Amino acid sequence: MNITIPYNFEPREYQLPLFRAMQQNQKRAVICWHRRSGKDKTCLNILIWQIINNESKKKPETYYYFFPTFAQGRKALWDAIDKDGFKFMDHFPKNMICKIIGNEMKIVTEKGSVFQIIGTENYDSIMGTNPVGCVFSEYSLQNPKAWDFIRPILAENGGWAIFNFTPRGTNHAHTLLQQGREAGWFTSVLTVEDTRVILDETIEAERLQMPPALFEQEYFCKFINGANQYFRKIDENILSETSPVNHGHRYVIGVDLGKYNSYTVLTPFDLHTFQVGTPDRFRQIDYPTQEARIEAMHRRYNKALVRIDSTGAGDPVYDHLKRKIRSIEGFRFTEQTRKDLLENLRLQLEEGKIKLPNDETLIAELRSVQYDLTETGKLAIRVPSGMHDDCVMSLALAVCNIPANPLRIFQDQKDRHETLAQFDFYKRSSPKDKKRRLKTAMLIEKKNSLE
């Protein structure tokens, strides 16, 4: 049976130079192409051509297709379906396949060659193997140590490697592109203006919806450090010291409840100074103990308003705490409410309204949150695989619905009542409870003034 290779794939004009270079025995290629330009379609079909071409000349070989993570490899290639409903893996002609091992994302051909998708978060799993051809997909997001591991193998056996990516600042992928140019490798940088594969009106719509730096990066292949970073002006808002609890101040505590192996985080926020307190972060303790810690922080911070994640497993915790804490609000997470919460926090930081504690975990999480484009081109907000966002979400809950300006130290009961009346927790209080709150607060302020 005669099969035309590429199989069920007709390269676009701008993809042909890479095909020709690899067919002419080019050993290294680096392509920096814009988002949705067909990088993996192109590279997969080149790899399949290499398998068939080599099997006709010599013994079977091993080929690896690397992604930043194993899960991404499954989503972006193994299970991927293009816009016409065609499965990416169906570019392998059926009559050349002997065995498919789905859980390992591996294909063994009739002549014994092996194709496998590997996540570079676990690249040492291929130790002792001898691949002759490798594709490094989204190399700008990969662990560069995987290439350091593979390079001497390919140098010894005369194998080839292709690196494809869209920029992520001037990181290791940018360095490799520069080195490739100097070493005479095949290199290609293509923007939407070069390929013309995306309609002008679509590009304009993307421009209007995306942050400018991210748009330039994704569609014009600009190497801009921090283009994907969601939160900005983090360093400018870090305090060298965290203020102690002030007994005359009102506080809000944001509570992000941990599920499974994630962390529960409690973050206090001072409504008078707009300073964020040091988060309390813990995990793998039962819910009654978590409730006790939440209640303890509530009391320590002048019976602060508690805004808590009441989604899913958080609902019964919220119900239990309502019996003990009057000033408590449940917050239900959906895709939209999460997005709104993060957007509010982003604006608070960029405007310099809130000040952060010099907490290593919180700062690292804030820096890790990134813009990302989904396979369908939708703008998403994510953290990299293996990272947590518990501190970020706890902080976002704490600064949700805060007043436009810090609260003043109240002059009298009327002043306090008028100021606090803007908060939902105060509106819901009974007249008796409001009177008790005001009396207690005035006594505290009197005590502070005497001290």
Going from N- to C-terminal start, the domains of the chain cover 13-34+42-122+130-154+173-190, 235-398, 413-450
| Span 26-84, pLDDT tens digits | 999 999 999 999 999 999 999 999 999 998 877 889 999 999 999 999 999 999 999 89
Neighbours of 75 (CB within 10 A): 13
Strand 97-101 and strand 251-256: the pairing is unpaired
Interacting residues of 286 by C-beta distance below 8 A, sequence separation 6+: none
- Asked which of 181-185, 301-305, 384-388, 434-438 is least confident by mean pLDDT, the reply is 434-438
Residue 424 has pLDDT above 60, yes or no: no
Query: What is this structure's pTM?
Result: 0.72
Instruction: Identify which of 285, 279, 302, 306 has the alpha carbon closest to the alpha carbon of residue 294.
Output: 306
| Span 313-371, pLDDT tens digits | 778 899 999 999 999 999 999 999 999 999 999 999 999 999 999 999 999 999 989 88
pLDDT value for 75: 94
Q: Are 99 and 107 in contact (CB under 8 A)?
A: yes
Report the share of the chain in percent with pLDDT over 70.
88
- Asked which of 139-143, 208-212, 442-446 is least confident by mean pLDDT, the reply is 442-446
pLDDT value for 260: 64
For the segment 88-95, the average pLDDT, to the nearest whole number, is 95
| Span 164-178, pLDDT tens digits | 999 999 999 999 999
- Residues forming a β-bridge with 382: 370
CATH fold, domain 235-398, is: Nucleotidyltransferase; domain 5 (3.30.420)
User: What is d(CA 185, CA 394) in angstroms, rounded to the nearest whole number?
Assistant: 48
**pLDDT band per the 50, 70, 90 thresholds, residue 1:** very low
Instruction: Identify which of 163, 165, 166, 142 has the alpha carbon closest to the alpha carbon of residue 215.
Output: 166
Q: In the predicted model, what is the mean pLDDT of the chain?
A: 89
Q: Are 256 and 338 in contact (CB under 8 A)?
A: no
